[in-house]
Structure 1
Amino acid sequence: MGEEGTLAAAEVVLIMNSFRSNRRAFHDSLRLRKLLDWRLVDYIVVDINSEMHTGETQDRVLLEHWKTYGVLRPEPGTEGNSGRCMTPQVLFDGISVGGLLDVQDLEEEDLLDGVIDGQLCPSCQTARTGSTDEQPNCEGCGAALFKLVPREYLAHGAVMVFRAGQRVNEEYQEYEGDGAEEEGEQAQAAEEPETQNE
Structure 2
Amino acid sequence: MEVVTNDRVQAALFGDTENFDFSFLPKDLLTQCRSLIESYHEIHGYACLPDTLWKCRLGPLIETNRELRQLLRKASTTRSAKKSNEGFGRIATTLLSLEILASNFSGWSAIHPDAGLMAHAILKRSARGPHMPLMEFYLYPPKYISFAAIAALTPPTGHRTAEVELYRASKPELADEKQALNYVSAINQARDGRSPHAAATSPA
The TM-score normalised by the length of structure 2 is: 0.31
Which protein has the larger Cα radius of gyration, Structure 1 or Structure 2?
Answer: 1
Q: Which has the higher helix share?
A: 2
The structure with more strand, counted as a fraction of residues: 1
Please report the TM-score for the alignment, with normalisation by the length of structure 1.
0.32
